[in-house]
Amino acid sequence: EAQVTQNPRYLITVTGKKLTVTCSQNMNHEYMSWYRQDPGLGLRQIYYSMNVEVTDKGDVPEGYKVSRKEKRNFPLILESPSPNQTSLYFCASSLPSYEQYFGPGTRLTVT
């Protein structure tokens, strides 16, 4: 089944403890991206990747890192999480200029 998977789905952590949210797609898509969703603000793009080893900042990249070493994986790294990064995170993938497929979401709470 074609899908985008994210892990973990739920995470509660403490300020400053490094964490990684994984994202994987099985559709051989070149394009992948990360969004965060906050009440009243809609979905905002954090980082995106046009292909392996090609990443770029989205609208709200501060406090996040990404890597794209393989086509199927696009992990989101929070080196030193802070409470303002408490949010719902979505990973998405697509062929260039085609519709995006979204993962199920990761709900992160930073205390």
Partner 1 sequence: DAKTTQPPSMDCAEGRAANLPCNHSTISGNEYVYWYRQIHSQGPQYIIHGLKNNETNEMASLIITEDRKSSTLILPHATLRDTAVYYCIVSTDKLIFGTGTRLQVFP
Residues that bind partner 1 (CB under 8 A): 4, 31, 35, 37, 40, 42-45, 48, 88, 90, 92, 96-97, 99-105, 107
Q: Output the smallest distance, CB 24 to partner 1, in A.
A: 14
Looking at 26-110, which runs of residues are DSSP E strands?
31-38, 42-51, 54-57, 65-66, 76-78, 87-94, 101-102, 106-110
**Nearer to partner 1 (CB atom), residue 13 or residue 37:** 37
**Nearer to partner 1 (CB atom), residue 43 or residue 52:** 43
Peptide bond into 61 cis (omega under 30): no
Between CA 106 and CA 90 the distance in angstroms is 7
Q: Output the smallest distance, CB 7 to partner 1, in A.
A: 14
